[in-house]
C-alpha cells in the first residue's frame, strides 16, 4: 500500500514542468521513468539553460523574426516593381539561417529537459566549446545582415529624394509614392537587426564565460615525478618531500644481489632462480680463444688467466730465475763464493783516565 502511494506521488510530481531551485531560479524537471538508472525517480536535475540564456535567446528570436518580416516586406515591394536585389536576398538568407540556429539552440535543451528527446544533440550543445562556436557563428551572421541593411537603407539616393531614384522616370508616380514607405521599412529592418545583434553579443559573452570556466575546471594536473609522494608544496620548503634512499631502493637491493665474478658463482645454488653458470661460461668461452700474442707476453695479465692449468712462458721465466740457479751452484762448489766472517766482539769502553767516577751513574 505504501509503495503504491509513493508511486502515485511520483506520477503526480512528474507533471511539474518548472520550479524554483535553491539558488534562486531556473527550470528543473522531476525525472521519472528515464533511462538513467543512476538517477533515482523523483530527483531534480539542473536545467540545460540558465535564466539569462533563456531571456537572451527569447529576445534574439523576437528581434530576428521582426527583421525577417520587415525584409520580406522590402523584398515584396521590389518584386512588385522590379526583381528582388541581390543584397535583399542575401540578407533574408542570413536572417533565416540565424533564426533557425536560435530555434535549435533554445528548443533542443528544453525538449531534452522536458521529454528526454534528442539526447545526442543536447549532449553536443551542453559542451561549452560547441556552444561557444555556434554563438560566434550566429553573431557573425547577424552582424553581416545588420551592416548590409544599414548601408543599403541610408545610402540609397531614392530614400533621400524620390526623384533621384534611377527607376523613378520609368515606373511613374505610384512608384515614387511608395518609395518613402519602402525606405522607412528598410531602415526599421536595419535598426531591428542591430537590436538582434545586441542580444547575440549577450549570448556570446555568456557562452564565452561558460567556456572559460569549463577550461579552468577541466585543466589537466601538472606532472608529478614518480619519486614524489604527492603534489608539489606551493611556496614553502623544498618542492618534494625528503625520502631516504634506503627506504626507496631497499627492495631493489634485496631483489638483485651484487654479481659474483669468481669461479664459485658457477656452482649450482639451491635457491637460484636464474642460470647459475652464465658468468663462468662466458669467462671460460672468452679465455678459450687462442691468443694473438705469439710470445705470450700478456697471457698472465689477461682477466681470468688463473683459470689456465699451466702459467705462460713469461711467468715461468719470472718464477724460475736461471741466474739464481747458477749462483747457488757456484757457492756449493766453493768457487767464487766468499764465506761469511765470524762476528767480532769488541770490549766495552772504559772511563777516561783522570776523571772521577761517581757511584750511582
pLDDT value of residue 137: 92
Q: What's the CA angle centered on 145, arms 121 and 103, to 5 degrees?
A: 25
81 and 208 assigned to the same domain: yes
Domain encompassing residue 31: 16-47
- Per the domain annotation, does 57 fall within a domain? yes
Within a 13 Å sphere around the CA of 359, how many CA atoms are in the beta-carbon half? 0
202 and 55 assigned to the same domain: yes
106 and 173 assigned to the same domain: yes
- Distance, in Å, from the CA atom of 95 to the CA atom of 117, rounded to the nearest integer, reads 27
- Per the domain annotation, does 310 fall within a domain? no
Nearest partner of 134 among 109, 98, 96, judged by Cα: 98
Nearest partner of 51 among 202, 160, 256, judged by Cα: 202
41 and 66 assigned to the same domain: no
pLDDT value of residue 122: 82
81 and 130 assigned to the same domain: yes
Residue 57: partners with Cβ closer than 8 Å, 6 or more residues away: 49, 102, 105, 106, 203
Nearest partner of 30 among 116, 126, 118, judged by Cα: 116
- 171 within 8 A of 81, measured Cβ to Cβ: yes
67 and 207 assigned to the same domain: yes
- Distance, in Å, from the CA atom of 24 to the CA atom of 15, rounded to the nearest integer, reads 21
- Per the domain annotation, does 239 fall within a domain? no
41 and 185 assigned to the same domain: no
210 and 71 assigned to the same domain: yes
Residue 307: partners with Cβ closer than 8 Å, 6 or more residues away: 263, 283, 284, 287
pLDDT value of residue 168: 65
H/E run at residue 73 = helix 51-81
- 32 within 8 A of 26, measured Cβ to Cβ: no
pTM over 0.85: no
| pLDDT by residue, tens only, the chain of 361 residues | 555 555 655 554 443 333 334 333 333 443 433 444 444 444 445 666 778 888 888 999 999 999 999 989 888 888 877 778 888 889 899 999 999 999 988 888 888 878 878 788 888 887 888 888 999 999 999 999 999 988 888 887 777 777 677 776 666 677 777 777 888 888 888 899 899 999 999 999 988 888 888 777 766 555 566 655 544 444 444 444 444 444 444 444 444 555 554 444 445 555 545 454 544 555 555 455 555 555 555 555 555 555 555 666 666 665 566 677 777 877 777 655 455 555 555 555 555 555 555 555 4
Q: Which long-range contacts (CB under 8 A, 24 or more apart) does 129-137 make?
A: 129/211, 129/214, 131/105, 131/207, 131/210, 131/211, 132/204, 132/207, 132/208, 132/210, 132/211, 134/101, 134/105, 135/105, 135/200, 135/203, 135/204, 135/207, 135/208, 136/204, 137/101
pLDDT value of residue 312: 62
- Distance, in Å, from the CA atom of 332 to the CA atom of 339, rounded to the nearest integer, reads 11
Of 214, 235, 264, which one is at a domain's C-terminal end?
A: 214
Q: What's the CA angle centered on 41, arms 35 and 47, to 5 degrees?
A: 75
C-alpha cell at 135: 554563438
- 193 within 8 A of 67, measured Cβ to Cβ: yes
Amino acid at each position: 500500500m505504501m509503495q503504491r502511494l509513493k508511486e502515485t506521488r511520483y506520477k503526480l510530481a512528474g507533471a511539474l514542468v518548472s520550479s524554483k531551485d535553491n539558488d534562486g531560479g531556473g527550470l528543473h524537471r522531476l525525472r521519472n521513468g528515464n533511462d538513467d538508472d543512476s538517477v533515482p525517480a523523483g530527483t531534480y536535475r539542473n536545467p540545460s539553460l540558465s535564466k539569462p540564456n533563456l531571456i537572451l535567446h527569447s529576445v534574439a528570436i523576437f528581434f530576428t523574426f521582426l527583421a525577417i518580416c520587415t525584409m520580406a516586406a522590402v523584398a515584396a515591394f521590389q518584386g512588385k516593381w522590379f526583381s528582388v536585389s541581390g543584397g535583399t536576398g542575401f540578407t533574408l538568407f542570413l536572417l533565416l539561417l540565424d533564426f533557425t540556429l536560435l530555434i535549435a539552440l533554445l528548443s533542443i535543451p528544453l525538449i531534452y529537459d522536458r521529454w528526454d528527446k534528442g539526447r545526442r544533440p543536447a549532449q553536443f550543445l551542453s559542451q561549452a566549446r560547441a556552444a561557444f562556436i555556434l554563438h560566434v557563428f550566429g553573431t557573425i551572421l547577424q552582424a553581416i545582415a545588420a551592416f548590409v541593411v544599414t548601408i543599403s537603407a541610408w545610402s540609397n539616393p531614392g530614400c533621400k529624394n524620390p526623384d533621384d531614384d534611377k527607376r523613378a522616370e520609368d515606373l511613374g508616380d505610384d512608384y515614387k509614392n511608395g518609395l518613402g514607405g519602402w525606405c522607412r521599412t528598410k531602415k526599421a529592418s536595419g535598426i531591428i537587426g542591430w537590436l538582434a545583434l545586441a542580444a547575440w553579443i549577450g549570448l556570446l559573452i555568456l557562452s564565452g564565460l561558460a567556456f572559460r570556466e569549463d577550461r579552468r575546471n577541466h585543466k589537466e594536473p601538472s606532472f608529478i615525478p614518480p619519486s614524489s609522494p604527492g603534489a608539489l608544496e606551493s611556496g614553502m620548503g623544498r618542492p618534494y618531500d625528503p625520502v631516504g634512499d634506503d627506504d626507496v631502493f631497499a627492495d631493489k637491493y634485496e631483489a638483485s644481489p651484487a654479481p659474483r665474478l669468481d669461479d664459485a658463482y658457477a656452482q649450482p645454488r639451491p635457491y637460484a632462480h636464474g642460470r647459475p653458470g652464465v658468468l663462468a661460461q662466458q669467462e671460460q668461452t672468452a679465455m678459450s680463444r687462442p691468443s694473438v700474442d705469439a710470445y705470450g707476453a700478456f697471457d698472465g695479465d689477461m682477466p681470468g688467466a688463473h683459470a689456465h692449468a699451466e702459467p705462460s712462458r713469461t711467468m715461468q721465466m719470472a718464477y724460475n730465475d736461471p741466474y739464481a740457479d747458477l749462483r747457488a751452484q757456484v757457492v756449493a762448489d766453493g768457487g767464487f763464493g766468499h764465506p761469511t766472517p765470524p762476528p767480532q766482539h769488541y770490549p766495552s769502553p772504559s772511563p777516561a783516565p783522570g776523571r772521577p767516577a761517581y757511584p750511582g751513574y
